């Protein structure tokens, strides 16, 4: 049986920073739970394929296997719980979610996320954004931005703040499918990010140097 409080908490550690890997010892310290307990649950997740691991020296680091259907279910439960908690604390927000649902019936809206004071609409109807904004009362309190699926995924990979502080308001399953669709890119960026930037910078510098040499020769 998966999905109890401790298990959801372990998933939350990874879900709040999808670019990062953690040792079991790090997870136990973050959650302030005993190492044996966290180790037992983490090994269960490894056996189920929910977590994967990579060797680092004599130990290993774990990361979410976002291609696993069970992982997506656990992530969805966390997202739904987060939304319900937010709505309970902000009773007025029921009207916001109702408004988004009504817009979803009139336009092809894939998913909607709240990020700070911005509502992010992922839609194939980006050309109808003016019509959506004219019809909606949401513009009174929030900035509305519109992405197609590809552009949203690109933004999500690059923006760690968005990864951590978003709230899915509409179509949780579709949103998670978009996010897990770029899981490998996020993990690579998290593990090799600085090295990739340095390598890219060195390549650009090298290319410019070659170009200068070619100009001199001509």
Confidence of residue 216 (pLDDT cuts 50, 70, 90): low
Q: For the chain, what is the domain count?
A: 2
> Which residue carries 């269960």 as its tokens?
44
Asked if residue 94 and residue 57 are part of one domain, the reply reads: no
Confidence of residue 124 (pLDDT cuts 50, 70, 90): very high
Residue 170 φ/ψ, nearest 5 degrees: -145, 130
Question: Residues 121, 101: contact at Cβ < 8 Å?
Answer: no
Is 81 contained in some domain? no
- Which residue, among 195, 184, 199, 215, has the nearest Cα to 63 in the 3D structure? 184
Is 145 contained in some domain? yes
Asked if residue 106 and residue 49 are part of one domain, the reply reads: no
Q: What's the chain's average pLDDT?
A: 88
Range of the domain at 129: 90-180
């Amino acid at each position: 049986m998966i999905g109890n409080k401790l298990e959801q908490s372990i998933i939350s550690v990874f879900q709040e920073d999808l670019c990062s890997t953690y040792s079991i010892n790090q997870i136990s310290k973050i959650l302030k739970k005993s190492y044996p307990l966290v180790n037992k649950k983490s090994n269960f997740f490894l056996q189920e394929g929910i977590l994967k691991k990579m060797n680092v020296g004599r130990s290993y680091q774990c990361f979410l296997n976002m291609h696993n259907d069970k992982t997506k279910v656990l992530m969805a439960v966390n997202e739904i719980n987060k939304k319900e908690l937010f709505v309970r604390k902000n009773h007025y927000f029921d009207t916001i979610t109702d408004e988004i649902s009504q817009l979803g019936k009139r336009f092809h809206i894939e998913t909607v996320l709240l990020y700070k004071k911005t509502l992010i609409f992922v839609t194939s109807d980006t050309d109808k954004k003016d019509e959506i904004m004219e019809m909606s009362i949401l513009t009174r309190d929030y900035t509305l931005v519109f992405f197609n699926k590809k552009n949203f995924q690109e933004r999500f990979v690059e923006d760690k703040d968005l990864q951590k502080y978003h709230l899915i308001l509409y179509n949780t399953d579709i949103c998670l499918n978009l996010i897990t669709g770029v899981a490998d890119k996020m993990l690579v960026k998290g593990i090799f990010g600085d090295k990739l930037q340095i390598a890219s910078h060195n390549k650009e510098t090298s290319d410019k140097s070659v170009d200068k040499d070619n100009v001199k020769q001509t």
